[in-house]
Amino acid sequence: MNLSKGLTNIQKQVSPDSLTNSCSGEGCQVYLTGIPRQKIVIDVEKEFDARGDNRKRCDRMLFYDNDAKKTFIAVPIELKSGKAEESDVREKLENSLKFAATIAPTRKESAETVYVPVLFHGRGINWTNPRSRQQFTVNFQGKTLTILTGRCGRKRNLANLLSKAGYL
């Protein structure tokens, strides 16, 4: 498969052992049906371990090109088969977004990179602050990003989530 310049660049920056073909794991099924064929999926836990980085991190990272919008999409994905802890999810996604920014192509190399944090859960979210239910967000590069949430095991769960939010 011929990968775009941005995807090839990412592939060169991570350990080959960290590359995977699946966004599923941790007892949570995530379907790649409807996601562009040209993509890179990283097992972030393996990659952080290979780098000796012991910060909290998400489970998977998906990168793909959105040719229609001329953007490069970086999707850190946290997987929870049971109930997700709000504060834990935020910390993992924030650290993973920082990591994504270090390996994502620069503006000169590729289109604008858009960051889309995602949580898939099995039994809901344990809210630290009940008021934050309306705004499940993380702060990144001076912007407030909404964390997209979906359920484990639903058909086309990732594509439906990204499409509904306008990233596919």
Which residue intervals of 14-137 are DSSP H helices? 44-51, 86-103
- How many structural domains compose the chain? 1
pTM for this predicted structure: 0.93
List the pLDDT tens digit at each of the 168 positions of the chain: 557 888 999 999 999 999 999 999 989 999 999 999 999 999 999 999 999 999 999 999 999 998 878 889 999 999 999 888 999 999 999 999 999 999 997 766 667 899 999 999 998 888 876 665 567 899 999 999 999 999 999 999 999 999 999 999
Beta strands in 19-165 (DSSP E): 19-20, 39-43, 60-66, 71-80, 84-85, 112-115, 118-121, 125-126, 137-140, 143-146, 148-151
Domain extent at residue 31: 5-164
**Are 101 and 111 contacting, i.e. CB atoms less than 8 angstroms apart?**
no
| Confidence (pLDDT) at 4 | 83
| Confidence (pLDDT) at 32 | 96
